[in-house]
Structure formats: structure tokens, C-alpha cells
Chains A and B, each alone.
Chain A
């Protein structure tokens, strides 16, 4: 038997789930797609007392397309998002991010909210959610609250989700019309977690950058945004020199760790290159941004 013993629950409502979370607190784990959690169970790196399978809760598997946002329920799989025609048309960055995750066989089970709640610092969806100013909705004993992704990630695999709360949806705002986007990453093999990656959004008006969001991932305990660098880019005329400067400024701010996969020095160097490439590609995809 691979996993250590646990008590399995398959609640059919959010209320029932919250009740179980109140009872077991940090000793409980929520099971959605299981593509991150079950490996941890099989290797006994996680030994929860209670496993709460949310796959029998109705309606959490819906993607709602609003005028200005894509709202993704807790059980929506990555494959579902990847194949949603409206998402592909209105928020192609999400499709590009998801296609970098594992393989179709993994994305058939892996959930969007699960990836965001797990919060691996090398994962694509948390980085994309941060770049898009996404918000997560969590439900607990006293009701619902909404948390900006930037406030959701506290550190390595640590989130603002309390022990008696479950994440019920993530809301990805659709960027202003004409916004260019890019995701760049370096991984050992296609489908692996990124060693290092970058996500950028760029919008140009009247030949100058009107808005930009820049994220680096795989370079710290959580995906990182760079408000100072973004602020300097806004109002400037986009171009190679400007983007190189921004990439250099971000490299200076990064303090990644060495690990078995890559040295800190390698990560910093690649991070700068990927930020520059992401900005360049986002600019090319901008309306009025092509040169």
C-alpha cells in the first residue's frame, strides 16, 4: 500500500467540506485532481489524517465566461480550460500556460484551482494568475472571501488559505483590448515544471507603454511581480534597450536558491533573458506594438 492510512471523505456540498475542515484542520487535505497531492501521498511525504475528495460536489466544474473575466471553479481541469473555445479566443495566455503543464494525461485530471492552491513556485498557473491580477475565492465557516493572488502567496508552498477554508474558484480578469502577452520558460523536458520562467503583459497606446505586468517564476519561494520596474516601463517608448534594462533591473532584485536542478547564478541569468524575451513577444502581440 503506497499512502499512509487516512480517513476518506467524499462530501457532496461545500458546507459539508467546511465542516470536515473544521473538524480536522491542518490534518486534512483536499483532493481534487490529485496530480500533485497523490504523488506526495504515495511517497508518504504527506500523511494527512483526513482526505477530503471534492469530486462529488456539483457545479464546481464550471467555467463561466463573463464580459471582463474568466471564472474557473475548483474542479475544472486544466484540459477543460485548454479546450474551452471562449478562453482560447479571449484569454489565450491561459491556454498557453496550461499547455506547458505535464501532458494531456496529467491535464485530464489536474485542476486549475489545485495548481494555484498548491502554489509551486515553478508552476505556470500561479505565475499566470499573478500576471493577470487574478483573485481567488475561498469559503470558510464564516462565509466567502476574495483574495488577490499577490496576497494569496505568502512564501514557499504557503498561502493565505486558512485550515478551515477551501478554495472554490479563481477569477482571471481579461486584460484590456489590444494587450499583448507572453509566457517563456526553460524546462529540462517539455511538460516538466519550469526551472525558470517569465510572464509578461504589455499594452501600448500612442507609441508608449500604457500598462505592463511582469512576473518571474522559479526564482523564489513564490512567483514574483516587480511593481517598481513595471512603473518605470509605463510611459516609455518600448524597444530592445528599454526591455534589456528592465530585465537587468529584475535580475538585480532576484535572490533564487541553489538546488539540485540549477544553481542560483544560472537561474538569475536565465530569468533576465526570459523576462526580456517575454516583454519582446508581448510587444509583438500588442495591437499597435509591432514594429
Chain B
């Protein structure tokens, strides 16, 4: 079969823009983007749940699109732009989506919330007035075991309202 020996761990230096700030680091080729953010950049708001793309907790924006960071290697993000949940609030002032989740009780334990908020952000940046169906589809990409989803849905509706008011 193979003439190559089992590969040694290889690494390379990458440069990414995270929440508007350029960060460079040397990273193992096999490290996922989620683990890189959490362990190397100490951005632990990106949560890791299932680590195979199902639960959605690790969702962030890569070049403006919502993606699973557990299914990306950090080295694949080299030269790209990343937005994580840490980039949303301005100091103590919550982002309007965070405010909406606060007001509508869109979270309990909070484990899934960061990912859901990032998916909501991508959806609203793309289309500020999504249909209920579109909201369901986006939320369908996230598992929440606390809320039963009703309050999450209400939170997204509230976020649309707040956004409409220029928040």
C-alpha cells in the first residue's frame, strides 16, 4: 500500500483576522479551527460540542458565512477573516442579537447560544427580513437541550425588530 512512513506531526505559521484583529500563530496542521481559537487564541466563546458538525455549538463566521469550526482545520483559515461571538458586544453594550436573546429568554445553560447567535448574525446580514421558514431552517442547524427552541425563535424575531430600529 504505502511507501511513506506514518507522518510526523507537522505545523505551520498562519495569519488570520479574528474580530478585526490580525493574529499570527504556529499551529499543528491537524488542529481544528475551533481548538485553535480556544486553546491558542484563548477565545473560548466558540464552544465545542459534538466535534462532527451536528450540534452547531462551534458555529462562527468565515468570510461572513456561518460555518462549523470543528469541521475546518486552522491551517485552512490562513489568510481568511473570522468573526466569533467575542466580537459582538461593544464593551458592556450587548449586540442587538444578544440583547434580543436576553429579553426573550433565548438561553438557559448557554452552551449552544454562541453558535446560534453567530448563525443568526449571518442570516440577518444576508437578509434582514427572513421568513419564519428560513429562521427554522437556520435554527435547525443547532441543537439546544434546554429551551425547546420556542424562546430561541422568539429571540430571533425580536433581533429582527431591534435591527429594524437601527440597533
Chain A contacts to B: CB under 8 angstroms: 1-8, 10, 23-27, 31, 34-35, 38-39, 41-43, 49-51, 53, 55, 79, 102-106, 108-109, 189-191
Contacts of B66 in A (CB 8 A): 104-105, 108
Kindly identify, within residues 1 to 28 of chain B, every residue whose CB is under 8 Å from any CB belonging to chain A. 1-2, 4, 6-10, 12, 28
Contacts of B2 in A (CB 8 A): 24-27, 49
Contacts of A7 in B (CB 8 A): 7, 10, 29
Contacts of A25 in B (CB 8 A): 1-2
Kindly identify, within residues 22 to 66 of chain B, every residue whose CB is under 8 Å from any CB belonging to chain A. 28-32, 35, 51-53, 56, 59, 65-66
Whole-angstrom CA separation of A34 from B68 in the bound complex: 10
Whole-angstrom CA separation of A19 from B123 in the bound complex: 40
Contacts of A53 in B (CB 8 A): 73, 75-76
Contacts of A104 in B (CB 8 A): 66, 119, 123, 137-138, 141
Contacts of B73 in A (CB 8 A): 8, 31, 34, 38, 53
Q: Is there an interface contact between B67 and A108, defined as CB atoms closer than 8 Å?
A: yes
Chain B contacts to A: CB under 8 angstroms: 1-2, 4, 6-10, 12, 28-32, 35, 51-53, 56, 59, 65-68, 70-73, 75-76, 119, 123, 137-138, 140-141
Q: Is there an interface contact between B7 and A49, defined as CB atoms closer than 8 Å?
A: yes
In angstroms, how far is the closest chain B Cβ from the Cβ of A163? 10
Contacts of A189 in B (CB 8 A): 140
In the complex formed, the residue of B with least CB distance to A7 is B7
With A35-B53, A38-B52, A108-B66 already in contact, 7 other A-B pairs whose C-beta atoms are closer than 8 Å = A2-B32, A8-B73, A26-B2, A38-B72, A49-B4, A53-B73, A109-B67
Contacts of A27 in B (CB 8 A): 1-2, 4
Whole-angstrom CA separation of A42 from B119 in the bound complex: 23
Whole-angstrom CA separation of A103 from B59 in the bound complex: 12
Q: Is there an interface contact between B9 and A39, defined as CB atoms closer than 8 Å?
A: no
Whole-angstrom CA separation of A103 from B140 in the bound complex: 7
In the complex formed, the residue of B with least CB distance to A189 is B140
Whole-angstrom CA separation of A1 from B10 in the bound complex: 13
**A1, A38, A102: most-surrounded residue (chain B CB, <10 A):** A38
Q: Is there an interface contact between A105 and B67, defined as CB atoms closer than 8 Å?
A: yes
Interchain residue pairs with CB less than 8 A apart (18): A1-B35, A2-B35, A3-B32, A5-B7, A5-B10, A25-B1, A27-B2, A42-B71, A49-B7, A50-B4, A51-B29, A104-B138, A105-B66, A106-B68, A109-B68, A109-B71, A189-B140, A190-B137
Q: Is there an interface contact between B30 and A4, defined as CB atoms closer than 8 Å?
A: yes
Contacts of A191 in B (CB 8 A): 140-141
Q: Is there an interface contact between A1 and B28, defined as CB atoms closer than 8 Å?
A: yes
Q: With contacts A7-B29, A109-B72 known, is A26 near B67, CB below 8 A?
A: no
